[in-house]
Protein backbone atom coordinates (compact mmCIF):
# COMPACT_ATOMS: atom_id res chain seq x y z
CA UNK A 1 0.00 0.00 0.00
CA UNK A 2 1.44 3.33 -0.98
CA UNK A 3 1.62 6.11 1.50
CA UNK A 4 -1.14 7.99 -0.31
CA UNK A 5 -3.38 4.93 -0.22
CA UNK A 6 -2.65 4.47 3.45
CA UNK A 7 -3.77 7.98 4.14
CA UNK A 8 -6.89 7.43 2.07
CA UNK A 9 -7.67 4.22 3.98
CA UNK A 10 -7.22 5.89 7.33
CA UNK A 11 -9.40 8.75 6.19
CA UNK A 12 -12.10 6.32 5.02
CA UNK A 13 -12.10 4.43 8.30
CA UNK A 14 -12.21 7.76 10.10
CA UNK A 15 -15.16 8.89 8.02
CA UNK A 16 -16.99 5.63 8.53
CA UNK A 17 -16.66 5.68 12.28
CA UNK A 18 -17.65 9.33 12.23
CA UNK A 19 -20.77 8.68 10.21
CA UNK A 20 -21.73 5.65 12.31
CA UNK A 21 -21.74 7.90 15.31
CA UNK A 22 -23.24 10.78 13.35
CA UNK A 23 -25.90 12.58 15.16
CA UNK A 24 -28.76 14.40 13.59
CA UNK A 25 -29.75 17.55 15.43
CA UNK A 26 -33.07 19.16 14.61
CA UNK A 27 -34.20 22.63 15.61
CA UNK A 28 -37.89 22.82 16.55
CA UNK A 29 -39.84 26.07 16.91
CA UNK A 30 -43.12 26.43 18.82
CA UNK A 31 -45.08 29.66 19.39
CA UNK A 32 -45.99 28.73 22.96
CA UNK A 33 -44.02 29.34 26.18
CA UNK A 34 -41.93 26.83 28.16
CA UNK A 35 -44.42 26.76 31.04
CA UNK A 36 -47.37 25.67 28.86
CA UNK A 37 -48.34 22.01 29.04
CA UNK A 38 -48.01 21.57 25.25
CA UNK A 39 -44.35 22.59 25.47
CA UNK A 40 -43.74 20.35 28.49
CA UNK A 41 -45.21 17.49 26.47
CA UNK A 42 -42.92 18.33 23.55
CA UNK A 43 -39.91 18.13 25.87
CA UNK A 44 -41.00 14.65 26.98
CA UNK A 45 -41.51 13.66 23.33
CA UNK A 46 -38.03 14.90 22.45
CA UNK A 47 -36.50 13.02 25.38
CA UNK A 48 -38.18 9.82 24.31
CA UNK A 49 -36.93 10.22 20.73
CA UNK A 50 -33.42 10.78 22.00
CA UNK A 51 -33.61 7.76 24.25
CA UNK A 52 -35.12 5.48 21.58
CA UNK A 53 -32.45 6.47 19.06
CA UNK A 54 -29.53 6.22 21.49
CA UNK A 55 -29.06 10.00 21.03
CA UNK A 56 -28.73 9.63 17.24
CA UNK A 57 -31.60 12.08 16.79
CA UNK A 58 -31.58 15.15 18.97
CA UNK A 59 -34.22 17.87 18.86
CA UNK A 60 -33.68 21.35 20.31
CA UNK A 61 -36.94 23.03 21.25
CA UNK A 62 -37.22 26.80 20.70
CA UNK A 63 -40.30 27.99 22.58
CA UNK A 64 -42.24 31.25 22.71
CA UNK A 65 -41.71 32.28 19.06
CA UNK A 66 -37.97 32.64 19.72
CA UNK A 67 -37.01 31.07 16.39
CA UNK A 68 -40.02 31.82 14.17
CA UNK A 69 -43.25 33.76 14.73
CA UNK A 70 -46.37 31.62 14.68
CA UNK A 71 -47.55 32.77 11.22
CA UNK A 72 -44.11 31.90 9.74
CA UNK A 73 -43.80 28.42 11.19
CA UNK A 74 -45.49 26.35 8.51
CA UNK A 75 -43.48 27.97 5.72
CA UNK A 76 -40.28 27.54 7.69
CA UNK A 77 -40.87 23.77 7.66
CA UNK A 78 -42.02 23.70 4.04
CA UNK A 79 -38.97 25.59 2.85
CA UNK A 80 -36.60 23.40 4.87
CA UNK A 81 -35.47 26.09 7.30
CA UNK A 82 -36.46 23.76 10.13
CA UNK A 83 -37.39 20.05 9.89
CA UNK A 84 -40.02 19.95 12.67
CA UNK A 85 -42.36 22.37 14.43
CA UNK A 86 -45.55 22.88 16.42
CA UNK A 87 -48.43 25.18 15.53
CA UNK A 88 -52.19 25.52 15.91
CA UNK A 89 -54.03 23.56 13.20
CA UNK A 90 -56.98 25.98 12.91
CA UNK A 91 -54.61 28.81 11.94
CA UNK A 92 -54.55 27.14 8.51
CA UNK A 93 -58.32 27.51 8.05
CA UNK A 94 -57.90 30.14 5.34
CA UNK A 95 -55.91 27.60 3.37
CA UNK A 96 -58.56 24.91 3.75
CA UNK A 97 -61.66 24.83 6.00
CA UNK A 98 -60.83 21.23 7.00
CA UNK A 99 -58.06 22.58 9.25
CA UNK A 100 -60.57 24.68 11.21
CA UNK A 101 -63.30 22.25 12.17
CA UNK A 102 -62.06 22.17 15.77
CA UNK A 103 -62.59 25.96 15.98
CA UNK A 104 -66.29 25.78 15.15
CA UNK A 105 -67.98 26.88 18.40
CA UNK A 106 -70.09 24.28 20.26
CA UNK A 107 -69.38 21.45 17.81
CA UNK A 108 -67.19 19.51 20.28
CA UNK A 109 -67.16 20.69 23.89
CA UNK A 110 -65.84 17.71 25.87
CA UNK A 111 -62.66 15.65 25.58
CA UNK A 112 -64.66 12.66 24.34
CA UNK A 113 -66.28 14.75 21.61
CA UNK A 114 -62.99 16.41 20.76
CA UNK A 115 -61.39 12.99 20.38
CA UNK A 116 -64.15 11.81 18.08
CA UNK A 117 -63.85 14.97 16.04
CA UNK A 118 -60.09 14.46 15.75
CA UNK A 119 -60.55 10.87 14.59
CA UNK A 120 -62.86 12.15 11.85
CA UNK A 121 -60.63 15.13 10.96
CA UNK A 122 -57.23 13.45 11.08
CA UNK A 123 -57.20 11.67 7.69
CA UNK A 124 -58.14 14.91 5.90
CA UNK A 125 -55.46 16.88 7.70
CA UNK A 126 -52.85 14.21 6.93
CA UNK A 127 -53.81 14.13 3.28
CA UNK A 128 -53.61 17.92 2.88
CA UNK A 129 -50.29 18.08 4.69
CA UNK A 130 -48.91 15.26 2.55
CA UNK A 131 -49.70 17.21 -0.62
CA UNK A 132 -47.52 20.00 0.73
CA UNK A 133 -44.57 17.77 1.62
CA UNK A 134 -45.47 17.70 5.30
CA UNK A 135 -46.12 14.82 7.68
CA UNK A 136 -48.33 15.05 10.75
CA UNK A 137 -46.91 13.42 13.88
CA UNK A 138 -49.45 14.17 16.59
CA UNK A 139 -52.08 16.63 17.81
CA UNK A 140 -53.23 17.70 21.28
CA UNK A 141 -56.18 19.95 22.22
CA UNK A 142 -56.23 23.07 24.35
CA UNK A 143 -58.76 23.12 27.18
CA UNK A 144 -62.17 24.60 26.30
CA UNK A 145 -62.17 28.23 25.21
CA UNK A 146 -63.79 31.12 27.07
CA UNK A 147 -63.54 34.89 27.54
CA UNK A 148 -61.57 37.05 29.94
CA UNK A 149 -62.56 40.60 30.63
CA UNK A 150 -61.83 43.54 32.88
CA UNK A 151 -65.52 44.31 33.36
CA UNK A 152 -68.48 41.97 33.78
CA UNK A 153 -70.17 40.68 30.61
CA UNK A 154 -73.85 39.93 31.08
CA UNK A 155 -74.77 39.88 27.42
CA UNK A 156 -73.27 40.77 24.05
CA UNK A 157 -74.21 44.43 24.71
CA UNK A 158 -71.30 44.53 27.16
CA UNK A 159 -68.92 43.37 24.41
CA UNK A 160 -69.92 46.08 21.90
CA UNK A 161 -66.83 47.88 20.67
CA UNK A 162 -64.58 46.15 23.21
CA UNK A 163 -60.97 45.72 22.07
CA UNK A 164 -60.78 41.97 22.00
CA UNK A 165 -57.70 39.75 21.79
CA UNK A 166 -58.12 36.84 19.36
CA UNK A 167 -55.54 34.36 18.06
CA UNK A 168 -56.51 33.54 14.48
CA UNK A 169 -58.99 34.28 11.67
CA UNK A 170 -61.76 32.11 13.16
CA UNK A 171 -61.65 33.73 16.59
CA UNK A 172 -61.43 37.16 14.94
CA UNK A 173 -64.57 36.37 12.95
CA UNK A 174 -66.32 35.26 16.13
CA UNK A 175 -65.34 38.47 17.93
CA UNK A 176 -66.70 40.52 15.03
CA UNK A 177 -69.99 38.64 15.12
CA UNK A 178 -70.14 39.41 18.85
CA UNK A 179 -69.77 43.11 18.11
CA UNK A 180 -66.26 43.34 19.56
CA UNK A 181 -63.18 44.71 17.78
CA UNK A 182 -60.65 41.89 17.27
CA UNK A 183 -56.86 42.15 17.32
CA UNK A 184 -54.77 39.04 16.77
CA UNK A 185 -52.20 38.70 19.56
CA UNK A 186 -49.98 35.65 20.09
CA UNK A 187 -50.19 33.90 23.48
CA UNK A 188 -46.72 35.04 24.58
CA UNK A 189 -47.63 38.68 23.85
CA UNK A 190 -50.89 38.77 25.86
CA UNK A 191 -49.64 40.58 29.00
CA UNK A 192 -48.01 43.38 26.98
CA UNK A 193 -51.13 43.78 24.83
CA UNK A 194 -53.24 44.36 27.94
CA UNK A 195 -50.73 46.64 29.67
CA UNK A 196 -50.33 48.69 26.49
CA UNK A 197 -54.12 49.08 26.30
CA UNK A 198 -54.32 47.36 22.91
CA UNK A 199 -57.01 45.00 24.27
CA UNK A 200 -59.47 44.90 27.20
CA UNK A 201 -60.74 41.34 26.80
CA UNK A 202 -59.56 38.10 25.25
CA UNK A 203 -60.54 34.64 24.13
CA UNK A 204 -58.42 31.71 25.32
CA UNK A 205 -58.44 28.76 27.74
CA UNK A 206 -58.07 28.51 31.51
CA UNK A 207 -54.57 27.18 30.78
CA UNK A 208 -53.34 30.20 28.84
CA UNK A 209 -55.10 32.53 31.27
CA UNK A 210 -53.16 30.98 34.14
CA UNK A 211 -49.89 30.92 32.19
CA UNK A 212 -50.22 34.64 31.37
CA UNK A 213 -51.30 35.52 34.94
CA UNK A 214 -54.59 36.92 33.70
CA UNK A 215 -55.40 38.25 37.20
CA UNK A 216 -52.85 41.01 36.54
CA UNK A 217 -55.07 42.49 33.82
CA UNK A 218 -58.56 40.90 33.96
CA UNK A 219 -61.19 40.24 36.61
CA UNK A 220 -63.58 37.75 34.98
CA UNK A 221 -63.27 34.46 33.16
CA UNK A 222 -66.39 33.25 31.37
CA UNK A 223 -65.77 29.54 31.04
CA UNK A 224 -67.95 29.03 27.97
CA UNK A 225 -66.02 25.90 26.97
CA UNK A 226 -67.14 26.49 23.41
CA UNK A 227 -64.45 24.65 21.43
CA UNK A 228 -61.10 22.91 21.89
CA UNK A 229 -58.61 23.87 19.18
CA UNK A 230 -55.59 21.61 18.69
CA UNK A 231 -51.89 22.09 18.23
CA UNK A 232 -50.05 19.74 15.90
CA UNK A 233 -46.45 18.64 15.68
CA UNK A 234 -45.32 17.94 12.12
CA UNK A 235 -42.18 17.35 10.07
CA UNK A 236 -41.09 18.00 6.53
CA UNK A 237 -41.23 14.91 4.35
CA UNK A 238 -37.74 15.70 3.05
CA UNK A 239 -36.22 15.69 6.53
CA UNK A 240 -38.20 12.52 7.28
CA UNK A 241 -36.72 10.71 4.29
CA UNK A 242 -33.19 11.56 5.40
CA UNK A 243 -33.65 9.64 8.63
CA UNK A 244 -32.82 5.98 9.19
CA UNK A 245 -35.66 3.48 9.57
CA UNK A 246 -34.88 3.22 13.27
CA UNK A 247 -35.10 6.99 13.70
CA UNK A 248 -38.42 7.15 11.86
CA UNK A 249 -39.78 4.35 14.03
CA UNK A 250 -38.64 6.18 17.16
CA UNK A 251 -40.40 9.36 16.06
CA UNK A 252 -43.59 7.48 15.29
CA UNK A 253 -43.54 5.64 18.60
CA UNK A 254 -42.82 8.79 20.60
CA UNK A 255 -45.56 10.64 18.69
CA UNK A 256 -48.20 8.07 19.61
CA UNK A 257 -47.14 8.36 23.27
CA UNK A 258 -47.08 12.18 23.12
CA UNK A 259 -50.58 12.34 21.68
CA UNK A 260 -52.01 10.09 24.38
CA UNK A 261 -50.13 11.86 27.17
CA UNK A 262 -50.97 15.31 25.80
CA UNK A 263 -54.71 14.69 25.85
CA UNK A 264 -54.46 13.63 29.49
CA UNK A 265 -52.29 16.61 30.38
CA UNK A 266 -54.80 18.94 28.73
CA UNK A 267 -57.62 17.56 30.84
CA UNK A 268 -55.60 17.75 34.06
CA UNK A 269 -54.38 21.25 33.30
CA UNK A 270 -57.98 22.44 32.85
CA UNK A 271 -58.76 21.73 36.50
CA UNK A 272 -55.46 23.01 37.93
CA UNK A 273 -55.61 26.19 35.82
CA UNK A 274 -59.15 27.01 36.95
CA UNK A 275 -57.88 26.71 40.53
CA UNK A 276 -54.92 29.00 39.75
CA UNK A 277 -57.28 31.58 38.25
CA UNK A 278 -59.50 31.54 41.32
CA UNK A 279 -56.47 31.73 43.63
CA UNK A 280 -55.22 34.67 41.58
CA UNK A 281 -58.46 36.52 42.22
CA UNK A 282 -60.33 35.95 38.96
CA UNK A 283 -64.07 35.44 39.15
CA UNK A 284 -64.80 32.28 37.15
CA UNK A 285 -68.35 32.03 35.80
CA UNK A 286 -70.23 29.99 33.27
CA UNK A 287 -71.78 33.10 31.78
CA UNK A 288 -75.41 34.22 31.99
CA UNK A 289 -78.14 32.27 30.23
CA UNK A 290 -78.59 35.24 27.89
CA UNK A 291 -74.90 35.38 26.98
CA UNK A 292 -74.75 31.64 26.41
CA UNK A 293 -77.81 31.73 24.21
CA UNK A 294 -76.41 34.62 22.15
CA UNK A 295 -73.11 32.80 21.73
CA UNK A 296 -74.89 29.62 20.74
CA UNK A 297 -76.64 31.50 17.94
CA UNK A 298 -73.33 32.88 16.71
CA UNK A 299 -71.89 29.37 16.95
CA UNK A 300 -74.70 27.98 14.82
CA UNK A 301 -74.19 30.65 12.15
CA UNK A 302 -70.45 29.92 12.13
CA UNK A 303 -71.07 26.17 11.88
CA UNK A 304 -73.39 26.75 8.90
CA UNK A 305 -70.78 28.94 7.20
CA UNK A 306 -68.12 26.35 7.87
CA UNK A 307 -70.22 23.56 6.35
CA UNK A 308 -70.88 25.65 3.28
CA UNK A 309 -67.19 26.42 2.77
CA UNK A 310 -65.92 22.90 3.56
CA UNK A 311 -67.81 21.19 0.70
CA UNK A 312 -67.96 17.43 0.27
CA UNK A 313 -65.01 16.62 2.51
CA UNK A 314 -66.50 18.77 5.25
CA UNK A 315 -69.85 17.00 4.97
CA UNK A 316 -68.17 13.57 5.07
CA UNK A 317 -66.09 14.61 8.06
CA UNK A 318 -69.17 15.77 9.99
CA UNK A 319 -71.06 12.62 9.06
CA UNK A 320 -68.18 10.52 10.37
CA UNK A 321 -68.06 12.62 13.56
CA UNK A 322 -71.81 12.30 14.20
CA UNK A 323 -71.92 8.57 13.52
N1 LIG B 1 -54.27 29.09 24.18
C2 LIG B 1 -53.70 29.57 22.95
C3 LIG B 1 -54.53 28.95 21.89
C4 LIG B 1 -55.78 28.50 22.54
C5 LIG B 1 -55.46 28.53 23.98
O6 LIG B 1 -56.16 28.06 24.85
C7 LIG B 1 -53.81 31.06 22.81
O8 LIG B 1 -54.58 31.67 23.54
O9 LIG B 1 -53.15 31.61 21.93
CA-based nearest residue to 90, from 315, 311, 310: 310
Q: Which helix (H) or strand (E) holds 44?
A: helix 37-52
Please provide residue 185's backbone torsions phi and psi, each rounded to the nearest 5 degrees: -135, 130
CA-based nearest residue to 263, from 75, 97, 118: 118
Domains and CATH numbers, the chain: 25-321 (3.40.190.170)
Ligand 1, atom nearest to 208 Cα = 1
- Provide the pLDDT for residue 22: 73
- To test the ligand 1 pocket, which listed residue (167, 203, 211, 222) has its Cβ within 8 A of the most ligand atoms? 167
SS3 184: strand
- Provide the pLDDT for residue 13: 46
Q: Ligand 1 center to residue 48 CA distance, Å?
A: 26
- Provide the pLDDT for residue 104: 97
Residues with C-beta less than 6 Å from any ligand 1 atom? 142, 167, 187, 204-205, 207-208, 229
- Provide the pLDDT for residue 234: 99
Q: Ligand 1 center to residue 54 CA distance, Å?
A: 34
Nearest CA to ligand 1 atom 9: 187
The 220-222 sheet, strands edge to edge: 181-184, 163-166, 201-205, 145-149, 220-222, 283-285
- Provide the pLDDT for residue 14: 46
pLDDT digits (tens, 9 = 90+) for 266-316: 999 999 999 999 999 999 999 999 999 999 999 999 999 999 999 999 999
- Provide the pLDDT for residue 7: 52
* Number of alpha carbons in the 13 Å side-chain half-sphere of residue 294: 17
CA-based nearest residue to 93, from 53, 124, 136: 124
Nearest CA to ligand 1 atom 8: 204
Ligand 1, atom nearest to 202 Cα = 8
What is the DSSP secondary structure assignment for residue 215, as one 8-state letter? Answer: G
Residues 6+ apart with CB under 8 A from 206: 143, 144, 146, 221, 223, 269, 270, 273, 274, 277, 284
CA-based nearest residue to 105, from 29, 30, 166: 166
Nearest CA to ligand 1 atom 6: 205
Nearest CA to ligand 1 atom 7: 187
- Provide the pLDDT for residue 5: 56
Q: Ligand 1 center to residue 94 CA distance, Å?
A: 18
pLDDT average per 10 residues of sequence, the chain (323 residues): 52 48 90 98 98 97 98 98 98 97 97 98 98 98 97 96 97 97 98 98 98 98 97 98 97 98 98 98 97 97 97 97 95
Amino acid sequence: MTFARQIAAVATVGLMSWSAAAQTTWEMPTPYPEAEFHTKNIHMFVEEVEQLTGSELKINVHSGQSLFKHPEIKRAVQTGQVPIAEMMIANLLNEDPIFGVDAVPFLATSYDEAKKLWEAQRPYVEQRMEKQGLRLLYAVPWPGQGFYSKKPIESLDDLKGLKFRTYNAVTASMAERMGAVPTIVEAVEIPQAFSAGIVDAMVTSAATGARTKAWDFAKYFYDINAWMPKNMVFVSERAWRQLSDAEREALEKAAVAAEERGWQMSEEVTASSLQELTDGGITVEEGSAELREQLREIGMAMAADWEKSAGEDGAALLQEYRK
